[in-house]
Amino acid sequence: MTEFMPFPEFEEKLRLALTTPEPDPVFAQALRSRLSAHMGTPATHRSFHLRPAWGILLGLVLLVILAVLAVGPQRVAAEVQKLLGYIPGFGIVDQNASLRVLEGPVTETRDGITVTVTQAFLTSDKTVLTYTVDGVPWSALSHNENVAGCSPAGVADLHLPDGTLLKSAGGGGTPHEMTFNYPPIPANVNHATFVLPCIMNTLPGLAPENWELSLRFIPAPPNLIIPVIEVSPSPEPQINTAAASKNPLALLKVVDTGDNYVLLGEFRPSEAQDQSLPAGSYWSLTDPVTITDAEGRDVFIYTSPNDPNLHLPYDQTDAEPWAYQIGKTFDPPLTITYTGRYTIPADPTAQAEFTFDTGTNPQPGQEWVLNQDFELAGHRIRLVSIQMLSQSGYGFSFESSDPAVQTVNVDISGYLPNGRGEPEGGNAGLTPGKWSIELLDFDELPKGKLNVVLSNLTLYGEFKTWQVQWSPETAQPGSPSLYGISLAVDKYIPLDDGYYLLGHTDWADGRIASAAPGEWALKAYDAKGQEVALEPADWQDAGLTPEANQWLYRLYGKSFNAQLTLRATQMEVAFKQPVKLTLDMRSYGFDGSDAQLGLVWKFGGIPLDVPGLGASVFKVIYIKQGELKGFEIVINADPALQGLPFTIESGLNTAGMATVNSGGGSSWDETSGLVFTVLTDAKITFPLVLSASGATVNATWETTWNPPPR
Partner 1 sequence: MVSSAQRDPAEFVALYDRYFRPIYHYLYNRVGSAAEAEDLTAQTFLAALETLPRYHQRGHFAAWLFTIARNKARDFYRTGVSPIPLDENHPDKADDPLSQVIQADQVEQLANLFRKLEEAEQELLRLRYVADLSFAEIGICLGRKEDTVKKTFYRLLARLQRQLEVSHD
13 binds partner 1 (CB under 8 A): yes
Find the shortest distance in angstroms from Cβ 44 to partner 1.
8
Region near partner 1 per CB under 8 A, out of 72-80, 429-437, 585-593, 690-698: 429-437
CB nearer partner 1, residue 289 or residue 537:
289
Cβ contact 53:303 at 8 Å? yes
Phi first, then psi, for residue 65 (nearest 5°) are -70, -35
H or E segment at 663? strand 662-669
Length of the chain: 710
Of the candidates 8, 20, 349, 414, which one interacts with partner 1 according to CB under 8 A? 20
CB nearer partner 1, residue 175 or residue 503:
175
Comparing CA positions, the residue from 694, 612, 600, 692 lying closest to residue 648 is 692
Find the shortest distance in angstroms from Cβ 27 to partner 1.
5
Q: Which residues is 351 bridged to in the sheet? A: 455
CB nearer partner 1, residue 199 or residue 566:
199
CB nearer partner 1, residue 51 or residue 580:
51
Comparing CA positions, the residue from 623, 599, 608 lying closest to residue 22 is 599
Find the shortest distance in angstroms from Cβ 230 to partner 1.
32
In the region spanning residues 151 to 180, those forming contacts with partner 1, defined by CB under 8 A, are 151-152
CB nearer partner 1, residue 281 or residue 392:
392
595 binds partner 1 (CB under 8 A): no
CB nearer partner 1, residue 3 or residue 594:
3
Between CA 710 and CA 702 the distance in angstroms is 24
Find the shortest distance in angstroms from Cβ 524 to partner 1.
43
Cβ contact 642:570 at 8 Å? yes
* String marking each residue 469-498 x if it binds partner 1 according to CB under 8 A: ------------------------------
11 binds partner 1 (CB under 8 A): yes
Of the candidates 419, 494, 557, 663, which one interacts with partner 1 according to CB under 8 A? 419
14 binds partner 1 (CB under 8 A): yes
CB nearer partner 1, residue 393 or residue 503:
393
Q: Is residue 622 helix, strand or coil?
A: strand
111 binds partner 1 (CB under 8 A): no
Q: What is the CA radius of gyration of the chain?
A: 31
Find the shortest distance in angstroms from Cβ 6 to partner 1.
5
Q: Which residues is 182 bridged to in the sheet? A: 127
Region near partner 1 per CB under 8 A, out of 78-86, 263-271, 384-392, 561-569: 384-392
Region near partner 1 per CB under 8 A, out of 99-107, 420-428, 544-552, 575-583: 420-428
**Per rule CB under 8 A, count of chain residues that contact partner 1:** 70
Cβ contact 639:674 at 8 Å? no
Q: Which residues is 623 bridged to in the sheet? A: 630
Between CA 507 and CA 699 the distance in angstroms is 14
464 binds partner 1 (CB under 8 A): no
Of the candidates 331, 438, 632, 638, which one interacts with partner 1 according to CB under 8 A? 438
Of the candidates 241, 413, 418, 667, which one interacts with partner 1 according to CB under 8 A? 418
The separation between the first and the last C-alpha atoms of the chain, rounded to the nearest angstrom, is 100
Of the candidates 426, 461, 643, 673, which one interacts with partner 1 according to CB under 8 A? 426
Region near partner 1 per CB under 8 A, out of 15-23, 240-248, 528-536, 645-653: 15-23
Of the candidates 8, 17, 444, 594, which one interacts with partner 1 according to CB under 8 A? 17
Region near partner 1 per CB under 8 A, out of 67-75, 303-311, 359-367, 448-456: 359-367
Of the candidates 306, 325, 392, 456, which one interacts with partner 1 according to CB under 8 A? 392
Find the shortest distance in angstroms from Cβ 667 to partner 1.
21
576 binds partner 1 (CB under 8 A): no
H or E segment at 195? strand 191-196
Comparing CA positions, the residue from 241, 279, 315 lying closest to residue 47 is 315
Between CA 500 and CA 268 the distance in angstroms is 60
27 binds partner 1 (CB under 8 A): yes
21 binds partner 1 (CB under 8 A): yes
Of the candidates 188, 276, 363, 371, which one interacts with partner 1 according to CB under 8 A? 363
Determine if the peptide bond prior to 687 is cis (ω within 30°).
yes
CB nearer partner 1, residue 22 or residue 462:
22
Neighbours of 618 (CB within 10 A): 21
Between CA 187 and CA 97 the distance in angstroms is 12
Find the shortest distance in angstroms from Cβ 193 to partner 1.
25
Q: Is residue 638 helix, strand or coil?
A: coil
Instruction: Spell out the SS3 assignment of 82-139.
Output: CEEEEECCCEEEECCCCCEEECCCEEEEECCEEEEEEEEEECCCCEEEEEEEECCCHH
Of the candidates 193, 245, 286, 401, which one interacts with partner 1 according to CB under 8 A? 286
Neighbours of 20 (CB within 10 A): 5
CB nearer partner 1, residue 130 or residue 636:
636
Of the candidates 188, 210, 371, 390, which one interacts with partner 1 according to CB under 8 A? 390
Comparing CA positions, the residue from 141, 142, 151, 137 lying closest to residue 196 is 151
Cβ contact 630:651 at 8 Å? no
Phi first, then psi, for residue 586 (nearest 5°) are -60, -40
Q: Which residues is 130 bridged to in the sheet? A: 119, 179
Comparing CA positions, the residue from 128, 131, 108 lying closest to residue 120 is 128
Region near partner 1 per CB under 8 A, out of 202-210, 376-384, 385-393, 505-513: 385-393
Find the shortest distance in angstroms from Cβ 181 to partner 1.
18
Comparing CA positions, the residue from 575, 573, 482, 572 lying closest to residue 520 is 572
16 binds partner 1 (CB under 8 A): yes
361 binds partner 1 (CB under 8 A): no
- Chain-centroid distance of CA 292 in Å reads 17
Cβ contact 386:394 at 8 Å? yes
Find the shortest distance in angstroms from Cβ 661 to partner 1.
28
DSSP conformational letter for 589: T
Region near partner 1 per CB under 8 A, out of 52-60, 70-78, 176-184, 502-510: 52-60
Between CA 702 and CA 72 the distance in angstroms is 50
146 binds partner 1 (CB under 8 A): yes
Q: Which residues is 470 bridged to in the sheet? A: 334
Cβ contact 549:507 at 8 Å? no
CB nearer partner 1, residue 16 or residue 165:
16
Of the candidates 137, 269, 348, 421, which one interacts with partner 1 according to CB under 8 A? 421
DSSP conformational letter for 272: G
508 binds partner 1 (CB under 8 A): no
Q: Which residues is 411 bridged to in the sheet? A: 453
444 binds partner 1 (CB under 8 A): no
Phi first, then psi, for residue 201 (nearest 5°) are 70, 10
Find the shortest distance in angstroms from Cβ 364 to partner 1.
6
Neighbours of 255 (CB within 10 A): 22
40 binds partner 1 (CB under 8 A): yes
Binding footprint of partner 1 on the chain (CB under 8 A) = 3-7, 10-11, 13-24, 27-28, 31-32, 34-36, 38-40, 43, 49-53, 55, 142, 145-148, 151-152, 286-287, 363-366, 387-392, 395, 418-419, 421-422, 424-426, 428-431, 438, 441, 602
